[in-house]
Structure 1
Amino acid sequence: MRPETITALRRQFHSHAEPGFLEYRTASVILAELAGMGVRATTGRDAIDVGGIALPPTQAEKDEWGGRAVAAGASAEDVAYFQEHGTAIIAELEGNRAGPTWGLRVDIDALPVDEETATDHAPVAGGFRSTTPCMHACGHDGHAAIGLALADRLRDGNFPGRVRIMFQPAEEGVRGAQPMIDAGVTRGVNRMLAVHLGGDLPTGTVVGGVTDAMATTKWKATFDGEAAHAAAAPEKGRHALAAAAQATLAILGLTRFAEADTRVNVGTFHAEGSANIIPARATITYETRSTSNAVLADLNDRAEAAVQGAGQMYGVTVSTRAYGRAAVSQPDDGLLEDVARAAAGVPGVTTFTPKGPSGGGSDDAHLLIRDVQAAGGSGTYIFVGASNPAPHHHRRFDVDEDALVLAVDLLERLFRS
């Protein structure tokens, strides 16, 4: 695949950004491109266990984004299929001689970010600014293009073993990897990779393995109380909103840990009613993060105690549900040596660092890596610098498109070695 084709694919994905589990047009394009290459693609229950999605899209969300996808050129048949069977796609390529089975995760979803409109923003100047309420503010448009470019280059079969490219939905919110693991996508994989563009690194820089990604859990808590007249009979009510507010403050005030870095946040807070009604129901969503899997488990217990304590204080019942998670994984030294050798043969790589920081981010690709490692395989999470002009998740985020070709060259060299 020529560099200009890779760039064109990235721009196409960018201009039609879609949120997690709703990437109908994106998945339709990926499936069509693989079919055009003659590359075998797996979808549906062998790619993702949709029954294992903790907070699946509502029917209204499916209808909205399905309509957008069809209006943007996706076939109604494809959209209906992905609505029922999920948007994960696996491309499997067979080599012409014995060798390992590689897994490569590339994520495909976007964020609910309103993209920059100024003309000095490259997607605006280039005419590929997002046309939807979402934005590829984390480089996943580039990742999807990298995955397709690799499939195109490797379809000649001139490499050892096999390569399994996993086009993963819903990385944002760390919701997509686990149901793919539950579908068996890592079964038989010996070496598991994830690749990510950006990392606030200049183009030409490659980090062989991220070492300090944060484990995280995303939670939803629902507070159920009892409505009452706020003036005439306040004592008859059970104030769900007040309990949610108390829980919010308690979560934000959780203690820090000496042996690991931690983060907590409450991201949404919702209740309905009127100024003169004691609210009967409220919900919050919150997250916990840590650089240690063990500390995260403790932090989750403390957050649960805080939420339940707030409910007890106001006499309301509380139910909590984890809807997304990621873990910490460490790169394997032998695989880092392989990545280093591959990087040394790519002219565009000017700086190679075996191990490096993630900048405090989380990614559920680490679940895929840990799953392969637990079965005796190896894995690493690779950063490819892309001179991003603004931080990840920012409305001015962008990537240097030269980094797309560099990433493809690096991975192709690694798989053919």
Structure 2
Amino acid sequence: MEFEQLREFRRELHRNPEPAFAEIGTAARIERAIAGLPVAVLTGKAAQDLSGVVDYPLPETLDRWEADAIAAGAVPERARYFRENGTAQVVDLEGSRPGPRWGLRVDIDALPMSESTEPDHFPAAQGFAATNGAMHACGHDAHATIGVGLLHRLADHDFAGSLRVLFQPAEEGVRGAQTMIDAGVADGIDRMLAVHMSGGLPVGAVVGSFTGGMATRKLKVNFDGLASHAAGAPEAGRNALLAASMSALAIMAVPRFSSADTRLNVGTLVAGDGVNIVPSSAVITCEARATDDVVVDELVDRIRSIVAGTAAAQGVDAEVAVMGQSATLTPDDELIDRIVGAATAQPGVLDVIRTQTLAGSDDANLLIRHVQARGGQGAYIMIGASSPGPHHSATFDIAEDAIGVGIDLLESVIRSR
């Protein structure tokens, strides 16, 4: 694909963003964009195991996004397939000579937020801003485009080994990578890469790999009590809202650790039925993060203890479920050296930064660590994208030249001997 085609593909994805596990039209567009290439494609249960997903989108939610995908041009049969079987795709391309199996994770989901309509916002000015209540506010449209472009670029087979591109749903909330790991698609990879746009870096800047980052667990806690008349028989009720509220306050009061940087947050609390009813149900969502994997597990253990204690105090039942997770990242120096060497030789790369600390969490780290645990190597490349607004904001955007930088770099990394 020529750059103009890639740019139009990116804009089509940007115009039609879809949230986690509902990337139905996105998956159909990716499938269409790689049609005719000499690749093998895994979809459905072969690409991801959805059996362990907590809070998978409701049928009516998937119905909405399926209808939107068809209205925007997806073939109805393919939209229905991805709606029913999941949106992950794993694409294999063989090289012409022996060598390692490369893996590349590119995420495809958008955020549940509205995009700026201001005339100085480039997608709005050019007519490809999203209007459906979701937004590619973290560059995943560009990541998916890089994955498609790299497959086209390497379709001549002139490289050693093979390439497996993982088009991953549900990175936001760190929920999708584990479903692909559980399907076994990362088991045979020797060198695992991920790529991400960095809005805070200028076009032409490349980071050989993120390091560190925050391990995280995203938790959902259900409290199940007993309703009663709040005036006539308050003693007969079991107040789930009070248990949830006590838990929320106690979670935020968990001591911080001297050995790691930690974060705790209670994001939502939904409870009750009416002002005169003792609340019989409540749900909170919360997250724990830490720069140490052992510490984040300790934080989760403390949250579980808090929930058990407050549930017992109010006489309600409670259940804690992990909705999403990620780990810290220690990339491999040998692979970073290869990336830095390739970047230094690229005409479009003006600044090469060997490593940079990751401030947030990304479940590509799970894929990289999975490969490393089996003797492979991994790194997480950052591409400068010159965004006018911060990540996850209504004014986020990427300079489209950054897509070409990313494809050129990855091609060089994989082709180099």
Answer whether TM exceeds 0.5 for this pair.
Answer: yes
Residue 49 (str. 1) matches residue 49 (str. 2): yes
Contact 2:94–2:162 under 8 Å retained in 1: yes
Measured against aligned partners, the alpha-carbon deviations of 1:272-315 in whole angstroms (never above 9, x if no partner) come to 31111111000011111111101101011111112222212222
Matched letter for residue 169 of structure 1: P
Q: Which residue of 2 aligns with 1:73?
A: 73
Q: Distance in 2 between matches of 1:150 and 1:7?
A: 14
Matched letter for residue 22 of structure 1: A
Q: Distance in 1 between matches of 2:51 and 2:255?
A: 35
| 1:45 Cα deviation after fit | 1.6
Q: Distance in 2 between matches of 1:42 and 1:226?
A: 47
Measured against aligned partners, the alpha-carbon deviations of 1:323-360 in whole angstroms (never above 9, x if no partner) come to 111111211000000001110111111111111112x2
Measured against aligned partners, the alpha-carbon deviations of 1:216-266 in whole angstroms (never above 9, x if no partner) come to 111110011111111222122111111111111111121111111111111
1:250-399 equivalences under 5 Å are: 250-358=250-358, 360-399=359-398
| 1:54 Cα deviation after fit | 2.7
| 1:321 Cα deviation after fit | 0.5
SS at match of 1:35: coil
SS at match of 2:386: coil
Q: Distance in 1 between matches of 2:392 and 2:199?
A: 11
| 1:39 Cα deviation after fit | 2.9
Measured against aligned partners, the alpha-carbon deviations of 1:58-77 in whole angstroms (never above 9, x if no partner) come to 11111111111111111221
Contact 1:111–1:137 under 8 Å retained in 2: yes
Q: Distance in 2 between matches of 1:376 and 1:23?
A: 32
Q: Distance in 2 between matches of 1:408 and 1:362?
A: 24
Contact 1:17–1:131 under 8 Å retained in 2: no
Q: Which residue of 1 aligns with 2:182?
A: 182
1:106-145 equivalences under 5 Å are: 106-145=106-145
Q: Distance in 1 between matches of 2:272 and 2:7?
A: 46
> In angstroms, what is the RMSD of aligned CA positions?
1.1
SS at match of 2:65: helix
Contact 2:241–2:272 under 8 Å retained in 1: no
Q: Distance in 2 between matches of 1:399 and 1:172?
A: 18
Matched letter for residue 397 of structure 1: F
Contact 2:272–2:278 under 8 Å retained in 1: no
Instruction: Work out the number of aligned pairs and report it.
Output: 416
Q: Distance in 1 between matches of 2:155 and 2:319?
A: 49
SS at match of 1:392: coil
SS at match of 2:51: helix
Q: Which residue of 2 aligns with 1:410?
A: 409
Q: Distance in 2 between matches of 1:199 and 1:11?
A: 17
SS at match of 2:192: strand
Q: Distance in 2 between matches of 1:186 and 1:230?
A: 54
Q: Distance in 1 between matches of 2:38 and 2:177?
A: 26
Matched letter for residue 387 of structure 1: S
Q: Distance in 2 between matches of 1:11 and 1:20?
A: 19
| 1:38 Cα deviation after fit | 4.1
Q: Distance in 1 between matches of 2:290 and 2:391?
A: 19
Q: Which residue of 2 aligns with 1:208?
A: 208
Matched letter for residue 190 of structure 2: N
Gaps of 5+ in 1: none
Matched letter for residue 243 of structure 1: A
Gaps of 5+ in 2: none
Contact 2:38–2:93 under 8 Å retained in 1: no
Q: Distance in 2 between matches of 1:52 and 1:306?
A: 24
Measured against aligned partners, the alpha-carbon deviations of 1:19-47 in whole angstroms (never above 9, x if no partner) come to 11110000001011111334332211211
Q: Distance in 1 between matches of 2:182 and 2:315?
A: 38
Contact 1:199–1:383 under 8 Å retained in 2: no
